[in-house]
Homo-oligomer: A and B are copies of this chain.
Amino acid sequence: MLDDRKLAVLRAIVEDYVSTNEPVGSKALADRHNLGVSPATIRNDMAALEEQGYITQPHTSAGRVPTDKGYRLFVDRLSQIKPLSGAERRAIETFLAGAVDLDEIVMRTVRLLAQLTRQVAVVQYPSLTRSSVRHVEIVPLAERRVMLVLITNTGRVEQRVVDLPEALAEDRIANLRSVLNGCLDGCWLSQVPETVAGIPERLPPEERPVVATIMSVLLETLVERHEEKIVFGGTANLAGADFSVGLRDVLEALEEQVVLMRLLGETGGLSELTVRIGSENPYSGLRGTSIVAAGYGSGDKELARLGVLGPTRMDYPVTMGAVRAVARYVGQILAGS
């Protein structure tokens, strides 16, 4: 159905179209790539490719443009992920290593991705549920008010003010603190609910009302923040590109956490690349854009995802290379901190 030459033609069309942003015709193809055949032959192949929906022509007498299906074939079978240059790798490493806390790691990652790919970068904070407790802290603020601070092994810090049913003296707090940490330290966040359930029994009855309050806030923190935090950047890169769909829709989608979450998608394996091309993605406002995403994590556990969003007409090999590389480096940095 699609012999080798037709595939080569498709590849050439994608590459040319990506670099020139203009529909590509048979003559131009014959000139720029030495396919060893005449324009007429290429025309026949193009007709076949169009027949099967891999390319299309904007108007009757214009060149061809790849369809989403065409890009899909290109990504799956015709392209090789392009690794970064040594200089780029070093730049990434030093740039990320300079980060001093989680916020800054994430912020720098966004910048990095945006700069490297010249697209919009999207980075999800390391998932709460997939990390473990490093420390729980109870900080007295007032008579009947404390702040609960939860620190995870990924460096993430969650805080919540708790209003207590009764006043709580220093020594009781210290005691509570050590009990809590004794139970929860190193505990997988997903198992916190069960672990927490067993705690009241370990305490004298008079502590239970207070503990119950604190517990409920703690659990609430975990549940509420289940919708993970996502940041993005590099929107300036959108200004140049022209989307089939309005710029407005894209910007709106970016500001919807929920949409972003779904865009980054569910995981494949760790640093496995997910590519969503145009209409493949789940949000109608983003027809005309593609997403390249990967999971990142320390060790073998995927903590969260990151990726870039750009016009369907993007340089997939380069973008994929950059996303993969950044995902790996971020994983390393997180593991090392």
- The reply to whether B251 and A238 form a contact with Cβ atoms under 8 Å apart is yes
Task: Tell me the A185-239 residues at the B interface (CB within 8 Å).
Answer: 224, 233-236, 238-239
Check: A252 CB closer than 8 A to any chain B CB: yes
CA distance A157 to B149 in the complex (A): 9
Query: Which residues in B have their C-beta under 8 angstroms from that of A157?
Result: 149, 157, 159
Check: A240 CB closer than 8 A to any chain B CB: yes
In the assembled complex, the CB of A275 is this many whole angstroms from the nearest CB of chain B, namely: 25
Binding stretch for chain B, among A30-38, A79-87, A135-143, A260-268: A135-143
Count of residues in A whose CB is under 8 Å from the partner chain: 33
Check: A248 CB closer than 8 A to any chain B CB: yes
Interface string of A50-93 (1 = CB under 8 A from B): 00000000000000000000000000000000000000000000
Check: A11 CB closer than 8 A to any chain B CB: no
Among A233, A239, A246, A254, the most chain B Cβ lie within 10 Å of the Cβ of A239
Task: Tell me the A123-153 residues at the B interface (CB within 8 Å).
Answer: 134-135, 137, 139-141, 147, 149, 151
In the assembled complex, the CB of A45 is this many whole angstroms from the nearest CB of chain B, namely: 39
Check: A2 CB closer than 8 A to any chain B CB: no
8 Å CB contact of A147 from B135, B246, B247: B135
- The reply to whether B234 and A255 form a contact with Cβ atoms under 8 Å apart is yes
Task: Tell me the A246-288 residues at the B interface (CB within 8 Å).
Answer: 246-248, 251-252, 254-255
- The reply to whether B224 and A239 form a contact with Cβ atoms under 8 Å apart is no
- The reply to whether A160 and B101 form a contact with Cβ atoms under 8 Å apart is yes
Taking A100-B224, A149-B137, A159-B101 as contacts, is the C-beta distance between A246 and B255 under 8 angstroms? Answer: no
- The reply to whether B149 and A141 form a contact with Cβ atoms under 8 Å apart is no
